[in-house]
Amino acid sequence: MLLTTATLLLLGCALAAPADLEERQQGCPNIHVFGARETTVPPGYGTAGTVVNLILNAHPGATAEAIQYPACGGQSNCGGVSYGNSALQGTAAVARAVNAFNTRCPQTQLVLVGYSQGGQIMDNAFCGGGDSNIGLSDTSVPIQASAINMIKAAIFMGDPRYIPNLPYNVGTCRASGFAPRPQGFQCPSAAKIQSYCDAADPYCCNGNSQQTHQGYGNVYGQAALRFVNSKLT
């Protein structure tokens, strides 16, 4: 049987694609976690680190990285960047970091962990829908489709975008955060999310307890880990 040049080229591409994926995956971990800190906390994981470390300890060989963004709300100790500008930069930073890692390691399972403002930027990047609170008008999901597929779980704690009655909510809050999603919002990746918020929280709910806002890692950390483990393969 004679094969045309075009047929040979197509066959070559088909055979090369899996090999290319395997080559790119060499040296990559099975699991990689992205963590995003809360407002005014120095660069690193902030309080998100509690859950990030639980995941790393449960999965030897897993790796993690912190999202690099201002994490500011106008305070001098974080450069005076406004909250809206910080969250806007953070949303873009999440998409940029996740997309870059997924391109480099396409078969690695990914986990998102965001705390407070870090939860907001993870929420925005993972679910899309825009964010009028920070001037984000683009409603598309900025994380590429291949990365969305490899994100197996997303943990939001004290997320200001919280609204009641979403299927992934966990906790006692029945109100909304200070930067809420519009009523009726549905995240395309809802089955992969757990969003933790209690009624006393002043940022994801309408309470007045800073202690509650900072305590989700201790209160819900093990529950978050169980959820993440249930999604990983």
Q: What is the DSSP string of 169-223?
A: EESS--S--SSPPPTT---TTGGGEEEE--TT-TTTSS---HHHHH-HHHHHHHH
Torsion angle (degrees, nearest 10) of CA 135, 139, 145, 151:
60
The residue from 59, 86, 116, 159 that is catalytic is: 116
Q: Is the pLDDT of residue 25 over 90?
A: no
Q: Contact at 8 Å (CB) between 122 and 150?
A: no
Q: Is the pLDDT of residue 6 over 80?
A: no
Question: Helices in the chain by DSSP H: which ranges?
Answer: 5-25, 49-58, 83-104, 117-127, 145-150, 210-214, 216-231
Question: Which amino acid is located at 9 in the chain?
Answer: L
The residue from 86, 123, 176, 213 that is catalytic is: 213
Phi/psi of residue 21, nearest 5 degrees: -60, -45
Supply the mean pLDDT for the chain: 94
The residues, ordered by sequence, that sit 6+ positions from 149 with a Cβ below 8 Å of its Cβ are: none
Q: Is the pLDDT of residue 94 over 70?
A: yes
Q: Contact at 8 Å (CB) between 178 and 156?
A: no
In terms of pTM, does the model score above 0.85? yes
Q: Is the pLDDT of residue 8 over 70?
A: no
Q: Is the pLDDT of residue 195 over 90?
A: yes
Residue 141 to residue 71: CA distance in whole angstroms:
21
What pLDDT is recorded for position 26?
83
Question: Residue 23 — very low, low, confident or very high, per pLDDT cuts 50/70/90?
Answer: low
Let me know if 201 is a catalytic residue. yes
Q: Is the pLDDT of residue 14 over 80?
A: no
- Residues β-bridged to residue 113: 35, 155
One CATH from 3.40.50.2000, 2.10.60.10, 3.40.1260.10, 3.40.50.1820 for 28-231 = 3.40.50.1820
- Residue 188: CA count within 13 A, CB half-sphere: 15
Convert the pLDDT of each residue in 36-80 to its tens digit.
Answer: 999 999 999 999 999 999 999 999 999 999 999 999 999 999 999
Let me know if 59 is a catalytic residue. no
The residue from 123, 131, 198, 201 that is catalytic is: 201
